[in-house]
Structure 1
Amino acid sequence: MAADVPRNDRFLRALRREPTDTTPLWVMRQAGRYLPEYRATRGKAGSFMGLATNPEFACEVTLQPLARFDLDAAILFSDILTIPDAMGLGLSFEAGEGPRFARPVRDAAAIHALAVPDMDGELRYVMDAVRLIRKELGGRVPLIGFSGSPWTLACYMVEGQGSRDFARVKAMAWSEPALAHALLDTLARAVAAYLVAQAHAGAQALMVFDTWGGLLGPAPFREFSLRYMAQVVATVKADPACRGIPVILFSKGANGQLEALADTGCDGLGVDWTIGIGEARQRVGHQVALQGNLDPAVLRATPAIVEREARAVLDAFGNHPGHVFNLGHGITPEVDPDNVKVLVDTVHAHGRKIRAA
């Protein structure tokens, strides 16, 4: 099932650094609160977790942006914290405060008690959603599955909630590195198993969100984040179900590590907006595809500015294979959906002009 070629395969071709007729585009958090139909479905679900853990609702909101916009990929609607929730940490979302864990892990006993969740047990709802979405997509565009990175999951699991600096887990990494590595190794095995299970269920590309990798300095990044993402990539690539399925790594704020990230064996790198996409391409060459990297705040500007800035990103990348247009991070709730349509149409139209030049 996962090997089926969708009718629109621009996204997959770009990740293989093959020529495409125009630049493919999808948007991080493309199913989200900026869409009134998403807000209506979330209201029916009763809560964010009620939405994310119900395969029918997750499928519904995954498909909503594709009904509005000419996007080149769908991404599973879920959350990066499904793995620690399945580990029994008691995930909840407080209004205006973000995620919280009732039972954070802060000592050796708690960390050594963790185990890789059962993908057909605690996380079956995710796989059921992937299967349902693939069915409902009907081969229109590829489906992306995803996970949080081991380091990012550890940040939330040790802190117990969101934070500006995640000082607790960083202190653990410095003062108790063996304990931090035990946690990260368990999470790397869980993330790899989770991504492989999504591929078995029908995901046609896989993405790892290293949202908090940029909090680390160069040496700690390599030890506590990069090392475990490389482990995940290697494990996923070794599984027969994942043969030919591209893996994208997105490490926000880690632009100093692009070359090292490219060396993990991944197929694509997400790039945030704090580096020029042209510079990023020069640094990694043709080793990997690049995904990005418009500042999400641009979508709150006028349509003319959205057009101008989208064209600037495409021009900076140039007429080279291996570009998936995206934002440099997730779309924000205040964005006017009409501006997203402007973005999608501009990227496709200007991408064709670049290739015809």
Structure 2
Amino acid sequence: MTEAPADPRSLPADHPLATGTTASAPLVQAYRGVPPAITPVWFMRQAGRSLPEYRELRTGLGMLEVCLDPALASEITLQPVRRHGVDAAIFFSDIVIPLRLSGIGVEIQAGTGPVFDRAVRTAADVDALVAAGVPHAEDSGFDPIREGVRRTVAELGATPLIGFAGAPFTLAAYLVEGRPSRDHLAARRLMHADPEAWARLMAWCADVTGAFLRAQLLAGASAGQLFDSWAGSLSRADYIRHVAPASARALSWARGLTAPDGSRVPLVHFGLGTGAFLPEMRDAGADVIGVDYRIPLDEASRRLHDAVPLQGNIDPALLGAPWPVLAEHARDVLRRGRSAPAHVVNLGHGVPPDTDPDVLTRLVGLVHEAGAE
């Protein structure tokens, strides 16, 4: 099996962090624990179904087809930056793309999500998967990803691009279930029934998703985020024993990337429903912890000894509430975020598809104004 890189590696000379183009951006400063002049804001799933220009562009095209088209992926990534004035773009792709590029049969079905040709349920299934190996970040299979990142960075200028990848548990849960699941029973069953096979599966997922993240960062993304959408289904003990080592392995693919001044590419770790193990998520190798909408930011900061920059955590449900309700909630998030060394405003999960885009634009203005006070 491919091993995650252990030695630091310099970013390319033309990387936006190496040239200084994005090094002083509010988002990068905040991710590095330096409070910027304004509180930066971006939204998970800001590029997508809430935007009419996205829906028009996607007409007749499959999700994975669009993700692997550099021109389309770049254009979709840029759309919310133009419309909302957010402080970062996040590369438009999907967490199953590295699985697809590894030869796994998967499609995104409308209204369902990722559906796989076959589930990975046994030790033999895991061994067959592992035997196929994983792509390196420099492999030609990632060329569409690198080209999409380069096109996007060229348009963004001083606005940073965030690369992203799915955390190993979320990828493993999809593979074992074969499709989205409410409780991930099959995945948790394999975890306990055959912990050795589970560990092999998690290591493979860590490497394939780590390579995906590294490819984006080397191509020009100024930060990276690891998403663990389903880790909230786990107990803290199971997370520590069966998941955290693989998340650390995935993040290690990016931990060594440094700019000429010695500063590292900042890494964010976000999980849905993971308030019980925020310190363990930090210890996996993150510089910033993303917080969902279930706990207040000041409580999250307390659990991290007020020593870790935070990202979050406006409740997505409130995007449909009357403006005074949303505005007061956003101000409360800003107030609570001050307990951390630095704070990047985001949602506690993704933008709902039925969100009015004008509300997001107005919210960006509120954050910039109130966060500068």
Q: Distance in 2 between matches of 1:10 and 1:179?
A: 43
The equivalent residue for 2:30 is 14
**2:69 aligned partner, one-letter code:** N
| Residue 79 of structure 2 corresponds to residue 64 of structure 1 | yes
Cα contact 1:307–1:343 (8 A) shared by 2: yes
| Residue 222 of structure 2 corresponds to residue 222 of structure 1 | no
Identity of aligned residues (%): 39
Cα contact 1:291–1:325 (8 A) shared by 2: yes
Q: Distance in 2 between matches of 1:208 and 1:286?
A: 21
How far 1:110 sits from its partner (Å)? Answer: 2.5
The equivalent residue for 1:338 is 358
Deviations 1:272-306 (A, max 9, x none): 01000011112213432100001101111122222
Cα contact 1:293–1:326 (8 A) shared by 2: yes
The equivalent residue for 2:334 is 314
The equivalent residue for 1:271 is 291
How far 1:54 sits from its partner (Å)? Answer: 0.6
Q: Distance in 1 between matches of 2:182 and 2:324?
A: 34
The equivalent residue for 2:40 is 24
Deviations 1:59-104 (A, max 9, x none): 0110001111121100000001112222222111222222101132
Cα contact 2:306–2:340 (8 A) shared by 1: no
Q: Distance in 2 between matches of 1:238 and 1:320?
A: 25
Following superposition of structure 1 onto structure 2, how do residues 276-287 of structure 1 map, counting pairs within 5 Å?
A: 276-287=296-307
Task: Name which of 155, 158, 165 aligns with 1:147.
Answer: 165
Following superposition of structure 1 onto structure 2, how do residues 159-174 of structure 1 map, counting pairs within 5 Å?
A: 159-174=177-192
| Residue 116 of structure 2 corresponds to residue 101 of structure 1 | yes
The equivalent residue for 2:98 is 83
How far 1:208 sits from its partner (Å)? Answer: 0.3
**1:96 aligned partner, one-letter code:** G
Change (3 A) 1:239 1:205: closer
Q: SS where residue 119 of structure 2 aligns?
A: coil
120-129 or 22-31, which moves further after superposition? 120-129
Q: SS where residue 326 of structure 1 aligns?
A: coil
**1:31 aligned partner, one-letter code:** A
How far 1:118 sits from its partner (Å)? Answer: 4.7
The equivalent residue for 1:205 is 223
Q: Distance in 2 between matches of 1:272 and 1:199?
A: 24
**2:346 aligned partner, one-letter code:** N
Task: Name which of 317, 320, 323 aligns with 1:303.
Answer: 323
**2:45 aligned partner, one-letter code:** R
**2:150 aligned partner, one-letter code:** R
Deviations 1:96-134 (A, max 9, x none): 222101132222232222221254333321122111111
Q: Aligned Cα RMSD in Å?
A: 1.7
The equivalent residue for 1:74 is 89
Deviations 1:219-270 (A, max 9, x none): 1111222221122223421345795200100011110111222223311000
Q: Distance in 1 between matches of 2:334 and 2:366?
A: 10
Q: Distance in 2 between matches of 1:87 and 1:48?
A: 17
The equivalent residue for 2:346 is 326
The equivalent residue for 1:176 is 194
Q: Distance in 1 between matches of 2:228 and 2:119?
A: 19
TM-score, reference length from structure 1: 0.94
Unaligned runs of 5+ in 2: 1-13
Task: Name which of 195, 215, 233 aligns with 2:213.
Answer: 195
| Residue 50 of structure 2 corresponds to residue 34 of structure 1 | yes
Cα contact 1:89–1:104 (8 A) shared by 2: no
> How many equivalent residue pairs?
351
Q: SS where residue 225 of structure 2 aligns?
A: strand
Q: Distance in 2 between matches of 1:234 and 1:21?
A: 31
Q: SS where residue 113 of structure 1 aligns?
A: helix
Unaligned runs of 5+ in 1: none
Deviations 1:133-155 (A, max 9, x none): 11121x23000001000110000
Q: Distance in 2 between matches of 1:84 and 1:283?
A: 34
Change (3 A) 1:317 1:175: same
257-266 or 71-80, which moves further after superposition? 257-266
The equivalent residue for 1:157 is 175
Q: SS where residue 285 of structure 1 aligns?
A: coil
